[in-house]
Amino acid sequence: DTGVSQNPRHKITKRGQNVTFRCDPISEHNRLYWYRQTLGQGPEFLTYFQNEAQLEKSRLLSDRFSAERPKGSFSTLEIQRTEQGDSAMYLCASSPRGTAEGQKRETQYFGPGTRLLVL
């Protein structure tokens, strides 16, 4: 399977614990995105990488959240001191970097997501 993969698919943790999610993008894709989705809502942007550089972070991404993409390939999203409000589906997507014009119409390919439940 050459699509975007995410691990784990499900995570149950207790409030206050740290969790880390991994995303493996499509191999030739330079851009990698993290989104969060709560029940009944569309995905919300969290952050994105161009190769290993983190180019933008949403205000949704509090200090307890950190994302890395150390070698420009896979990425990790860590949540420290989890809270019940962090319960959500965390989605990763990737896209190839196109031309400036192409970026106006780029397609993002999503992984299956990691569903987090904080008790």
Partner 1 sequence: LAKTTQPISMDSYEGQEVNITCSHNNIATNDYITWYQQFPSQGPRFIIQGYKTKVTNEVASLFIPADRKSSTLSLPRVSLSDTAVYYCLVGLQGGKLIFGQGTELSVKP
Q: Interface with partner 1 by CB under 8 A: which residues?
A: 4, 31, 33, 35, 40-45, 48, 55-56, 89, 91-93, 95, 103-113, 115
CB nearer partner 1, residue 67 or residue 93: 93
Least distance to partner 1 from the beta carbon of 4, Å? 7
Residue with smaller CB distance to partner 1, 83 or 106: 106
Q: Are 78 and 62 in contact (CB under 8 A)?
A: no
What is the arrangement of strands in the sheet containing 75-79, beginning at the earlier edge strand?
Answer: 5-7, 19-24, 75-79, 65-68
For residue 3, the one-letter residue type is: G
Q: 19 or 93, CB closer to partner 1?
A: 93
CA 102/CA 114 separation, integer angstroms = 29
Asked if 67 and 34 count as a contact pair (C-beta separation under 8 A), the reply is yes
* Cβ-based nearer residue to partner 1, 79 or 91: 91
Minimum gap (Å) between residue 2 Cβ and partner 1: 15
Burial, 115: exposed, middle or buried (Cβ in 10 Å; 0-12, 13-18, 19+)? middle
Closest separation between CB of residue 22 and partner 1, Å?
15
Secondary structure class of 107 (helix, strand, coil): coil
CB of 96 to partner 1, least distance (A): 12
